[in-house]
Amino acid sequence: MDLNLASKTAVVTGAGRGIGLATVRALTAEGVRVVGAARTITPELQETGAHTVSADLSTPEGVATLISGALDTLGGIDLLVNNVGGGDGLAPVGFLDSDDAHWTGILDLNLLSAVRATRAALPSLIERRGSIVNVSSISAREPTDGLVAYSAAKAALTSLGKALAREFGPQGVRVNTVSPGAVNTFIWASPDALGGAVAAQSGLDHATFFQRLPQDFGIATGRITEPEEVAALIVFLLSDAAGNLTGADHLIDGGALTAL
Ligand SMILES: NC(=O)c1ccc[n+]([C@@H]2O[C@H](COP(=O)([O-])OP(=O)(O)OC[C@H]3O[C@@H](n4cnc5c(N)ncnc54)[C@H](OP(=O)(O)O)[C@@H]3O)[C@@H](O)[C@H]2O)c1
């Protein structure tokens, strides 16, 4: 299959590790010139040869710095991957304990980062008949207990993708959503992140929780998704091979969601 990506340019947010890093690796392997952004420019991101921007993408200024820098560095943007999300200290919390600061922080990172990056990059994406992938979550379709704000933000992000696909499809811009279930990244694999918090709530040590996760989350394949598998789907959707795919939400969850 010819992905026809070799002459393209891309911006990937949340690129320091996990799904973002795997996406940068997959795109650079296809010959794409990439700008990857996170607050921490990790050695692994540097090793990809991608251009890097250190910015807090939960802020308007951070996103503006990224997109203007990418336009200068790359000369234009063909592909945009709005991957950044989650949140520092993301942990299950009851709705009545979720104050405005909590909601604003989650919405800034998981929804408005994509809104802002897309708005800034769209003139170039329209000129180049480009493609966008937003990384949402199965929590958009089935809210995760204790992650009320995160689930709502991801539902809005999925809606955004559909709306943008309708508005800009006639100008040649495709917009797709990728919605992973549990992925083998820091969020679940580290005892210091969401996985650690959920384990503690369940009265399990993190190693036991992580080992039982596929079964406890009802993953039909019996295993967690690897970030490289999400990246492969993202790269396919960005490519000409997916030329008439737009406005769609693509689950990658090992069969965890059961609703049609
Ligand atoms: N892992 C899963 O199970 C899963 C499931 C469904 C959906 N997702 C979604 O997939 C996306 C990627 O998740 P992941 O698991 O790959 O996450 P991850 O391993 O935690 O990586 C997140 C990346 O984003 C960066 N980042 C976080 N906050 C940032 C900020 N304020 N400004 C700039 N960069 C920031 C992090 O670097 P710094 O902290 O150094 O900035 C890191 O490079 C997220 O949108 C997440 O919601 C993940």
pLDDT digits (tens, 9 = 90+) for 17-51: 999 999 999 999 999 999 999 999 999 999 999 99
Closest CA to 14 of 135, 156, 138: 135
C-alpha of residue 171 to centroid of ligand 1, in Å: 30
Is 164's C-beta closer than 6 angstroms to any atom of ligand 1? no
- How many angstroms separate the CA atoms of 85 and 233, rounded? 18
Q: What is the pLDDT of residue 179?
A: 99
Domain 9-181+226-252 is found in CATH 3.40.50.720: yes
Question: Rounded mean pLDDT of 232-239?
Answer: 98
- How many angstroms separate the CA atoms of 254 and 183, rounded? 10
- How many angstroms separate the CA atoms of 81 and 162, rounded? 15
pLDDT digits (tens, 9 = 90+) for 161-181: 999 999 999 999 999 999 999
Q: What is the pLDDT of residue 200?
A: 96
> pLDDT band at residue 2, thresholds of 50, 70 and 90?
confident
Could you tell me the pTM of the whole model?
0.99
**Per-domain residue ranges of the chain:** 9-181+226-252, 184-224
What is the total residue count of the chain?
Answer: 260
Q: What is the pLDDT of residue 63?
A: 99
> pLDDT band at residue 217, thresholds of 50, 70 and 90?
very high
C-alpha of residue 170 to centroid of ligand 1, in Å: 31
Average pLDDT of the chain is 98
Is 183's C-beta closer than 6 angstroms to any atom of ligand 1? yes
User: Which amino acid residue places its CA nearest to atom 43 of ligand 1?
Assistant: 16
Q: Which residues of 75-93 are buried (b: 16+ CB within 10 A; e: fewer)?
A: eebbbbbbbbbbbeebeeb
Q: 110 near 87, Cβ under 8 Å?
A: yes
Catalytic residue among 13, 112, 150, 250: 150
Q: What is the pLDDT of residue 148?
A: 98
Q: What is the pLDDT of residue 175?
A: 99
pLDDT over threshold 90, residue 259: yes
Is 254's C-beta closer than 6 angstroms to any atom of ligand 1? no
pLDDT digits (tens, 9 = 90+) for 91-133: 999 999 999 999 999 999 999 999 999 999 999 999 999 999 9
pLDDT digits (tens, 9 = 90+) for 43-60: 999 999 999 999 999 999
Q: Which residues pair with 79 in a beta bridge?
A: 10, 131
Whether residue 150 lies in the annotated active site: yes
CA 119, 11, 74, 3 dihedral sign is: negative
pLDDT over threshold 90, residue 7: yes
CA 131, 247, 235, 81 dihedral sign is: positive
Q: What percent of the chain has pLDDT over 70?
A: 100
pLDDT over threshold 90, residue 1: no
Question: Rounded mean pLDDT of 231-255?
Answer: 98
C-alpha of residue 14 to centroid of ligand 1, in Å: 5
pLDDT over threshold 90, residue 81: yes
- How many angstroms separate the CA atoms of 164 and 12, rounded? 18
C-alpha of residue 135 to centroid of ligand 1, in Å: 10
Give me the phi and psi of 79, to 5 degrees please: -135, 135
